[in-house]
Structure 1
Amino acid sequence: MDMDGMAQRAQGWLEQLTVWLQSPAFLAQLAAIALAIVIAPIVASIIKRAIPMLRIAPADDASLYKLRFVLFRAGKFLRAILLVGLLAVAAILLRGMEPLGEDWLVKIAQSLAVVFLVYRAIKVFVDDPLWRKVAIWTLVPLALLAVLGYFDDLTAALEAVSLGEDSAITLLAVIRLGLFGALFFWLGSLGNERGQSAIRAQESLDVGAREILAKLLQIGVFAAVVFLAFGAAGIPLSGLAVAVGAVGLGIGLGLQPIAANFVSGLIILLDRSVKVGDFVMLEGDVFGRVKAINMRSTTVATADGKDIIVPNTHFTESSYENWTHDSPLQRYEVDFGVSYDTDLDALVPLVRDAVLEHPDVLAEPDEPSVEFRNFGDSSINMCVEFWCQGIDDGPNKFTSDVGFIIWRTLKANNIEIPFPQRVTYQIPMPRAEKGKGR
């Protein structure tokens, strides 16, 4: 280690620092930086007091919730924003002063403040811990290289690395594709979500048409995302053709089920055999209401809060029951039994009129029908058939309510609801056999 050389360099730095400390221009820049650091939090506090949405989180049902939420989060690094702005103003003022006329130190401080601003924005806006780390370890170093003036050198080095001898795709283009692809995919997801919500809110369209338009919007948005990402990365469309060819080869080799489910989803939406809101029964007595029809699968929500993910091909290749395909009208039945002493001719209108009083029981297409089923071992087995609008599931308790009505009606009219009975006969033994046993 050359101690003399190090001592000489340290002596040179000390002399340069002494010259700077004796320079009014350097001292003015130090004062401007210190003043900006002191003023930024004071002005940020004043602005937050004047604009409540910068310091108070908006309610979930507030108007323009997304915009107000972004402003609220931006208020958390308002000091960093003001610091960058104040340093920029200070640099302009110092350049305009004839005795001073230097702003290089303020520019360095402003560049570091920009890096700090990027760091604070990532900490505030990126909630996921993994993506936050990725953003910090990529965007912050890039911002630092940019403010130090080495960003152009880095891009030139990456541009020189080509993926193949005759390929126009460089390592820089691939990195840009990843960055712009992630950005456009995120923006596309937000736009797709908002667009689908707006389409599904159009009550003038029926449910099937809304779902078709929503899915077409989804396909269009993500197709546009792909083209925009390739364009922003500077990759020619021939590169996109290669990627599409690779995807086609993948479909031919092992992605047939995914492609089949995708096509089946489009068929379901176009022929409207299944719509969002339909009540379906699948194999194995699995039933529920269709919650969403996605690109690969259909989500069926059961009454006990479970979501069943069903491949779209199931609805195009297998049988299933759609209870609400054409009409929400459903017919239900409740069985009951009465004793053999019951006057059935009087029982029928009695139970029918009582069931018809239920507010959800309909008189059309048919009134409630009390029917004879069979002669049971202990009772005459009867049945009530009735029509309701909707599924006997969740908030609807049609069969349960009618069962209570029948029970109350029978009790009020002293009609016996029998229970199984057995009569046992004991055959007496002959006297001769009794004597033998002694």
Structure 2
Amino acid sequence: MNFERINEIAQTLFQQVLASVTELGFYLQLLAVVLTLGLAWALSAKIKHAVDVRLQSVTRNQSWLAQPLEVVKGLLLPVLALMSLGLLHAALQQSGLDYEVVKIAFSLLLIITLFIVIHQYVNHVFVAAMLKWVMMPTAALYLLGWLDQTVVFLESLAFQVGDIKLSVYAVIRLLVFGSILFWLGRISNRYGQQIIRNKQNLDVRSREVFAKLFEISLFLVIFLLLLNAVGINLTALAVFGGALGVGIGFGLQQIASNFISGLIILLDKSMAIGNYIELEDGKAGVLKKLNMRSSSLQTYDGKMIVVPNERFITSAFTNWTHDDPRQRYTLQFSVAYDSDIPAIPELILNAVKQHPQVLLEPELPDCEIVEFADSGVVFQLEYWIEGIDDGRNRVGSDLLMIIWKTLHDNDIAIPFPQREVRILKDE
């Protein structure tokens, strides 16, 4: 960086300020500014008093007036001060007198007013930060007539990175434009994907494919616009693309594999958002997100399992709700041998059919004998429900309770293991 240039500019500015404060016109302008601000303050005090009186007389039906009047009170003084200084500036300019002090005071007051407005009335964090730290300094430099000189100065503060020369101005422009572009990109991506997912004429999987392609295309366009905004020649991307290909071949092959696997999953329709997926290792959950690198399965106990997309391509998994959300489950129970065995299936089926989540199609519930065990007769209940019999949709526990109550009400015993011990006497 050119530190001698910085020192020269600082000394020049100091000499200009020193020369200004020794002239009589400086103090006359300063006095005019103070009197003008005092007049604005007195006028705003009277108007605020009138507004307070009006607020006290606001009825319940006129309550909508309260907030606008409070806003008027908060901005009254800075607005009147700006108007007064603006009139003073115009009068001095028309008369041919010096007005530099008035101009500086007007610019500073305008910046303070904008800061108050942004701080109190702009709630979005990113927008407020951009207005405070980018737009306000730029507006101040423009009003003071220093914007062009500042740009030239920042361009002169440059440093060399290999064969590329970067200036402080280029870095600032990159950060500002990059932040704005990616903020707009996130908003556009959110609303664009929402519009795509609301297209009911497309199936769920097609909507996810188009939403993902829209996201990739949008951020690719933003990246190219950002490179163009900072003055990078896009033809240089051919060399960069070749280097990126080599990098993917060696160090980024796993990331590239997961990215391509994600596109394959969306295109081959093997699973979609909302499907219940069970992996080979027994982990299972509802597919909540399908990102470019990984997919997220949410378990019924609130945990989120992050699975690399490649795993769904290279290993087996079970999609419980791929084509039909209805699932068939079985439950087993035992009764004692001295029970009325032929009557038990009808008793159990009549009770089970009363459960609101048990389906009567594609098949009716079925109860049949599966085994004559050591301690009792084993029955198996088969039933269909919509969804997975787990979590909030836990039906199996309800049916076990229904089976127990039905057997208990009909005096049917549930056997438990019994052993007969014989003691042989010694002859």
* Range into which the TM-score falls when normalised by the shorter chain: 0.7 to 0.9
Residues 201-350 of structure 1: matches in 2 within 5 Å? 201-350=198-347
The alignment status of 1:381 with 2:388, answered yes or no, reads no
Mapped contact 1:111–1:147 kept (Cα < 8 A): yes
Mean Cα deviation higher: 202-211 or 329-338: 202-211
Shift of the 52–265 alpha-carbon distance from structure 1 to 2, 3 Å rule, reads farther
Which of 13, 23, 26 is residue 16 of structure 1 equivalent to? 23
Report deviation, 1:387.
Answer: 0.9
Tell me which moved more, 377-386 or 197-206: 197-206
Question: Using a 3 Å threshold, how does the CA distance of structure 1 residues 88 and 211 change in structure 2: closer, same or farther?
Answer: farther
Cα shift at 1:246: 4.5
Aligned partner of 2:34 among 5, 30, 37? 30
Q: How does 1:40-55 map to 2 (within 5 A)?
A: none
Return the alpha-carbon distance in structure 2 between the equivalents of residues 255 and 44 of structure 1. 65
Partner residue of 1:110?
A: 106
Cα gap change, 1:55 to 1:200, in 2 (>3 Å): farther
Query: Which residue is equivalent to 2:82?
Result: 87
Query: How much has 1:227 moved relative to structure 2?
Result: 2.0
Normalising by structure 2, what TM-score? 0.78
Shift of 1:216: 1.6
Going from structure 1 to structure 2, the CA distance change for 1:110 and 1:125 (only over 3 Å counts) comes to farther
Aligned-partner Cα distance in 1 for 2:206–2:17: 77
Task: Give the drift of 1:107.
Answer: 2.0
Q: Which residue identity lines up with residue 227 of structure 1 in the other structure? A: L
Residues 283-315 of structure 1 deviation map (CA, whole Å, 9 limit, x = unaligned) = 322111001111111111110111111111111
How far apart are the structure 1 equivalents of 2:142 and 2:67? 32
- Within 2, Cα distance between the matches of 1:266 and 1:145? 49
Map of 1:427 onto structure 2 = 424
Q: 1:359 to 1:125 in 2, by over 3 A?
A: closer
Equivalent residue number for residue 399 of structure 2: 402
Compared CA separation, residues 417 and 277, structure 1 to 2 (3 A): same
Residues 91 and 103 in structure 1, CA contact (< 8 A), matched pair in contact too: no
Write the letter of the residue equivalent to 2:419.
R
Residues 278 and 13 of structure 1: is their aligned pair in 2 closer, same or farther, counting only changes over 3 Å? closer
State the Cα distance separating 1:377 from its structure 2 match: 2.2
Aligned partner of 2:4 in structure 1 is: none
CA distance in 1, matches of 2:46, 2:242: 59
Q: How big is the shift at 1:347?
A: 1.2
Q: Do 2:332 and 2:378's aligned partners in 1 also have CA atoms closer than 8 Å?
A: yes
Q: Secondary structure at the match of 2:23?
A: helix
Kept after mapping to 2: 8 A contact 1:208/1:269: yes
For 2:78, give the aligned amino acid: L
Length-normalised TM-score, structure 1:
0.76
Q: Distance in 2 between matches of 1:270 and 1:187?
A: 28
SS in 1 for 2:301: coil
Shift of residue 151, structure 1, vs aligned partner:
4.2
1:362 deviates by 1.7
What displacement does 1:172 show? Answer: 3.5
Q: Distance in 2 between matches of 1:10 and 1:158?
A: 22
Q: Secondary structure at the match of 1:313?
A: helix
SS in 2 for 1:315: helix
User: Which deviates more, 197-206 or 117-126?
Assistant: 117-126
**Structure 1 gap ranges (5+):** 1-8, 57-71, 431-438
Aligned amino acid, residue 202 of structure 1: K
1:209 CA displacement? 1.8
**Percentage of matched positions with identical amino acids:** 39
**1:34 Cα deviation after fit:** 4.2
1: CA distance, partners of 2:284 / 2:216: 29
Task: Kindly state the Cα deviation for residue 225 of structure 1 after the two structures are TM-superposed.
Answer: 1.2
Q: Which residue of 1 aligns with 2:180?
A: 183
CA distance in 2, matches of 1:417, 1:40: 89
Pick the aligned partner of 2:152 from 149, 152, 156: 156
| Residue aligning to 2:7 | none
Q: Which amino acid aligns with 1:16?
A: E
What CA distance in whole angstroms lies between the structure 2 residues aligned with 1:282 and 1:94? Answer: 75
Deviation string 1:198-254 (CA, Å, 9 cap, x unpaired) is 322333432112211211221122112112212322322134445544543432331
SS at match of 1:370: strand
Q: Specify the SS of the correspondent of 1:428.
A: coil
How far is the alpha carbon of 1:415 from its aligned partner?
1.0
Bigger shift: residues 88-97 or 316-325: 88-97
CA contact 2:352–2:358 (8 Å) conserved in 1: yes
Is the Cα–Cα contact under 8 Å of residues 280 and 287 in structure 1 kept in the other structure? yes
Q: Matched residues in 1 for 2:237 and 2:66: separation?
A: 44
